[in-house]
Amino acid sequence: MARDLAQVVVAPAERWVEEAASRIAGGLEASVLARGQASIALSGGETPRPVYQRLAAMTLPWSRIDVFFGDERAVPPEHPDSNYHMAVETLLDPAGVPMARRHRMPADAADRDAAARAYAAELPERFDLLVLGIGHDCHTASLFPGSTALNETTRRVVPSESPVPPIERLTITPPVIAASRARFVLARGRDKAGPVARALEGSDDATHCPAQLARAGVWLLDPDAAAGLTGTPE
Ligand code: 6PG
C-alpha cells in the first residue's frame, strides 16, 4: 500500500514541536557532516511557526546551510502573508542565518514567470531537506488540486494560483519534491486528519490530493492529525 512509503511519526501534542524540530535539525547536521553544507526548503503557513522558533534555539552551522522556500505568495517580503516574512520572524533572524544563505522566492516580481525561472536556476540539484505542510484540500506547497503545475515534469518552479487569497503564487513542482533527499511533512490538529488520511491511505490521485507527492517522506503528526489513519504509526 502507498502508505508503506511514508515514515509516520506520531508525537504526543506536548512533544510534537520538539520532535519535528529535532528531526529537521538532525537532518541538517547530517547533511553538513556528509557534504560540508546543506540546503533546506521551508514551508509556509501557520503549522511550522513553533517548529521554526524551536529550530532557531538549536545550535546549527547556519553559515553552511542554504535556506530556500517551497512556495511563496505574490506579496512583498515584509507583508504579513509572506512565507519569507514568517521565516524571518521565527527562524532566520533569531538563528542569525547569514543574508547570503537566505533565498527568498520573489513571487511579488512584476514578471512572475521570469522570477520562477530565475529562482529555479538558483536551486541546488536536490534539496537535502524539504519541509512541507498539507492544506484542508490536500494541497502542499502551492500545488493545489487540479493545478496545471501538477503536470510539470521539467520546470522546477512555476507560477500557480490558490483558490483562496493570496491567490497568485510561485511553487516548486513535482520533480523537485521527488528529487529532495528527505521530505518532512508537518501536520497537527483534527482538521488535518482527513487530508492526511487521503494523502497517506487514499487511492492514488495526486491531481486531487497533491500532498500524495510527499508520501515517501517523514510525516510528523500529532494524535489528532493521525486520527484518520488505519495503519500503525512508527
Ligand atoms: C502556504 C504553505 C502551504 C501550507 C498549507 C498548510 O504557502 O500556505 O506553503 O502549503 O503548508 O496551506 O497551512 P497551515 O499550516 O497554515 O495549515
Measured from the CA of 70, which atom of ligand 1 is nearest? Answer: 9
| CATH fold for the domain made of 15-130+147-185 | Rossmann fold (3.40.50)
CB 44 within 8 A of CB 69: yes
- Over residues 86-96, the mean pLDDT reads 98
DSSP 119-179: HHHHS-SS-SEEEE---TTS-BTTB-TT-GGGG-SS-SEEEEE-SSSS-EEEEE-HHHHHH
Distance CA 160, CA 180 (A): 21
- What cell does 198 get? 487521503
Q: From atom 13 of ligand 1, which residue's Cα is the shortest distance away?
A: 45
Instruction: Lay out the sheet containing 65-69: strands in order across.
Output: 7-10, 218-221, 183-187, 129-132, 38-42, 65-69
The answer on pLDDT for 2 being more than 70 is no
Residue 145 alpha carbon to ligand 1 centre in Å? 14
Q: Where are the domains of the chain?
A: 15-130+147-185
What does the pLDDT read at residue 114? Answer: 98
What does the pLDDT read at residue 231? Answer: 74
Q: Assign 4 a pLDDT band (cuts: 50, 70, 90).
A: low
Measured from the CA of 191, which atom of ligand 1 is nearest? Answer: 17
Its pTM surpasses 0.95: yes
- Over residues 1-21, the mean pLDDT reads 89
Ligand 1 binding residues, C-beta < 6 A:
43-47, 70-71, 83, 133, 135, 139-142
Residue 172 alpha carbon to ligand 1 centre in Å? 14
What does the pLDDT read at residue 234? Answer: 63
Question: pLDDT, tens digit, for every residue of 92-120?
Answer: 999 999 999 999 999 999 999 999 999 99
Question: pLDDT, tens digit, for every residue of 183-221?
Answer: 999 999 999 999 999 999 999 999 999 999 999 999 999
Computed over every residue of the chain, the mean pLDDT equals 97
- Total length of the chain: 234
- What cell does 194 get? 482527513
Portion of the chain with pLDDT greater than 90, in percent: 96
Question: pLDDT, tens digit, for every residue of 42-65?
Answer: 999 999 999 999 999 999 999 999
Residue 161 alpha carbon to ligand 1 centre in Å? 14
